[in-house]
Amino acid sequence: MNIYSPIHSVRLEQLTAHNVQLDIKRDDLIHPFISGNKWRKLKYILQQAKQENKNVLVTFGGAYSNHLLATATAGAIFGLKTIGIVRGEPVNNDTLFLCKLHGMELQFVSRDAYRNKREIFQALFNKNKQAFFIDEGGAGAEGAKGCSEIIQELTENYNHIFCAAGTGTTIAGILNGLTFTKKHSQVHVIPVLKDSEYLKENINELLHKPITFHFHKQYHFGGYAKTNVSLLNFITHFTQQTGIMLDPIYTGKALFALFDLLQERFFNAEDKILFIHTGGLFGTLGMKERFAF
């Protein structure tokens, strides 16, 4: 699995005024539909499936899940059958359309039943020796292993690294990557869910060695997939000034946090900051009516 993710420097007045450097790791460019970090997370998960001779990938997500779409696309590329268990009432939208276009079979389950994914897997695929369980969002140790390569690809040292967090798998990978490469950066986690205390434990469980990180829990904008005018304006402004698109669910919130801290003079002069663009741009299209134009 080839991953090409370049680094682009951003030039903006605010950054120059505070004398800091902002680089963006463009994982959003890895693939148009396999949202950057989902591709990294699937890398070792798919290797494991192959080793166990499983050729049916069964995974889970909401109706707008970047992970479902990533799994559907990866399945088509590698010749594996994919089954997506979708939370809630049967619906159709662009994400699910693209899942089906890539050959994914969808099954909708009630929100109640959805809570126990292992149970659903047991009930539906107990007799299917080919079926391989992939957790929602590609969460877990294999996923984190793939994400640690973000750090292994870096050729420069950074004072700060910023990344959005849902399950925390990507962040855990980044922290492990720093351990493996003996690099020292302050890592900034921006949870996109409102009640994010669970995340610290998720992250710590996946760490090879304990390592501290900044936890900025005040940038969830009301909760998962919630937005407001200032977030949408920030995304619009940033896209128009740089040509780099952000999504309102993950990357928009995380980069908003970075610029908010910049304004509060959190950084030192000449700091080098790396923002991990985890992708998810398809989510922007799912929210287009929220923008004021």
Ligand X SMILES: *Cc1c(COP(=O)(O)O)cnc(C)c1O
| Binding-site ranges for ligand X (CB under 6 A) | 35, 37-38, 66, 137, 164-171, 247, 250-251, 278-280
Question: Of 59 and 169, which CB lies nearer to ligand X in the complex structure?
Answer: 169
Q: How far is the CB of 19 from ligand X (least distance, A)?
A: 29
Question: Of 148 and 278, which CB lies nearer to ligand X in the complex structure?
Answer: 278
Q: What are phi and psi of 190, to 5 degrees?
A: -120, 100
User: Strand locations in 222-282, DSSP E?
Assistant: 272-277
The CA distances from residue 29 to 7, 100, 189, 197, 279, in Å, are 10, 23, 22, 31, 7
Q: How far is the CB of 32 from ligand X (least distance, A)?
A: 13
Tokens 């089906």 correspond to 100
Question: Of 1 and 193, which CB lies nearer to ligand X in the complex structure?
Answer: 193
Q: Cβ-closest residue to ligand X? A: 280
Residues 25 and 3 sit within 8 Å (Cβ to Cβ): no
By the 10 Å C-beta count (0-12 exposed, 13-18 middle, 19+ buried), 197 is classed as: exposed
Q: How far is the CB of 281 from ligand X (least distance, A)?
A: 8
Q: How far is the CB of 270 from ligand X (least distance, A)?
A: 28
Conformational region of residue 58, where left means phi above 0, alpha means psi within -120 to 50, and beta covers everything else? beta
Q: Evaluate the CA torsion angle 123, 127, 128, 133 in order and state its sign.
A: positive
Question: Of 37 and 148, which CB lies nearer to ligand X in the complex structure?
Answer: 37
Question: Of 18 and 217, which CB lies nearer to ligand X in the complex structure?
Answer: 217
Question: Of 64 and 267, which CB lies nearer to ligand X in the complex structure?
Answer: 64
Q: How far is the CB of 126 from ligand X (least distance, A)?
A: 28
Tokens 């985890």 correspond to 278
Q: How far is the CB of 175 from ligand X (least distance, A)?
A: 12
The alpha carbon of residue 80 and the mean position of all alpha carbons in its chain are separated, in whole angstroms, by 23
Residue of 177, 293, 159, 202 lying closest to 239 (CA atoms): 293
Tokens 């900025």 correspond to 216
Question: Of 21 and 37, which CB lies nearer to ligand X in the complex structure?
Answer: 37
* Residue 210: CB atoms within 10 Å: 8
Residues 78 and 103 sit within 8 Å (Cβ to Cβ): no
Q: How far is the CB of 169 from ligand X (least distance, A)?
A: 4
Question: Of 30 and 55, which CB lies nearer to ligand X in the complex structure?
Answer: 30
Report residue 133 as tokens.
């369980």
Residue of 76, 68, 78 lying closest to 99 (CA atoms): 68
